[in-house]
C-alpha cells in the first residue's frame, strides 16, 4: 500500500512540475456518501457524513490564461454509508458469514486523484465562477465495517472492497480573491461511481457508491 501511495504522489508531482503555469490549493471538504446496487434486495439504508482533504492543482492549459484549466490533486477521501442486505443468500464480509437480514455500515478510505477540465469566468467584483467535469481515480487504503448483528465491530473488510475505483466528477463553484495570489474556494461537487466497489462474488450483483461534497479550500 505504501508503494501505491508513493506512485500516486509521484504521478501528481510529475503532472504539476511539467506544467508551465499553475496554482496550488488546500482543501478540506465535508461530504455525504451512499450506495446503490443492481440487486433490489440490497439497499442503501443510511447516508453518512465523511470528509475529503488534500492538495489540488489548477494547471493552465494556455500558460498565463487561467480561464481553461486541467484540475488534479491528491486527496484522502472518506466514504461512509450503511447497506441493508435481505436477499436471503449467504455471503462473507471480514471473514464472517451472513445469511439473514443485516445492516452493514462501511467506512471506506481512498486515495483520490481527480483529473478534470475546469472552465473559469473572468473576475466580477473579486469573484471568479467555474464549472468542472471529468473523472476521479480511487485507490483503496482502508476499509472497515460494523454490522447490526455485532459480528463486525470496526474490523478490516478489505476482502469485500476492490482496490481501484473510478468515478464521474462534476461540480460548480466560485473563488473569492483575497489579494495577491490567494483566493477562497467554495463549490458543490458530485461524484458518481462507475465501477463495482464490492468484491462479494456470492451475491452476484454490482454495487457503486456516490458522493455529494461541499468544497472548502484556499488557492495560492
**Which fold, 2-219?**
Porin (2.40.160)
pLDDT in tens, 73-92: 999 999 999 999 998 889 99
Phi, psi of 39 (to 5 degrees): -95, 120
Phi first, then psi: give them for residue 5, nearest 5 degrees: -60, -40
**Whole-structure pTM value:** 0.88
Task: Kindly report, residue by residue over 23-72, the tens digit of the pLDDT.
Answer: 999 999 999 999 999 999 999 999 999 999 999 999 998 887 889 999 99
| Cα dist from 128 to 123, 163, 173, whole Å | 5, 37, 9
Amino acid at each position: 500500500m505504501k508503494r501505491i501511495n508513493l506512485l500516486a504522489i509521484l504521478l501528481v508531482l510529475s503532472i504539476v512540475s511539467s506544467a508551465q503555469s499553475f496554482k496550488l490549493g488546500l482543501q478540506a471538504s465535508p461530504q455525504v456518501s451512499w450506495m446503490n446496487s443492481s440487486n433490489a434486495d440490497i439497499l442503501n439504508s443510511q447516508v453518512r457524513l465523511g470528509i475529503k482533504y488534500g492538495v489540488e492543482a489548477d494547471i493552465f492549459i494556455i500558460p498565463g490564461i487561467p480561464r481553461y484549466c486541467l484540475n488534479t490533486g491528491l486527496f484522502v477521501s472518506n466514504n461512509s454509508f450503511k447497506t441493508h442486505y435481505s436477499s436471503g443468500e449467504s455471503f462473507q464480509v471480514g471473514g464472517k458469514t451472513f445469511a439473514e437480514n443485516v445492516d452493514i455500515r462501511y467506512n471506506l478510505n481512498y486515495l483520490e486523484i481527480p483529473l478534470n477540465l475546469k472552465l473559469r469566468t473572468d473576475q466580477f467584483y473579486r469573484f471568479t465562477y467555474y464549472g468542472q467535469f471529468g473523472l476521479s481515480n480511487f485507490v483503496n487504503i482502508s476499509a472497515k465495517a460494523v454490522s447490526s448483528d455485532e459480528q463486525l465491530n470496526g474490523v478490516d473488510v478489505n476482502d469485500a472492497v476492490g482496490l481501484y475505483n473510478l468515478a464521474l466528477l462534476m461540480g460548480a463553484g466560485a473563488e473569492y480573491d483575497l489579494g495577491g495570489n490567494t483566493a477562497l474556494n467554495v463549490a458543490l461537487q458530485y461524484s458518481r461511481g462507475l465501477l463495482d466497489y464490492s468484491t462479494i462474488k456470492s451475491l452476484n450483483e454490482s454495487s457503486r457508491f456516490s458522493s455529494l461534497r461541499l468544497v472548502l479550500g484556499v488557492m495560492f
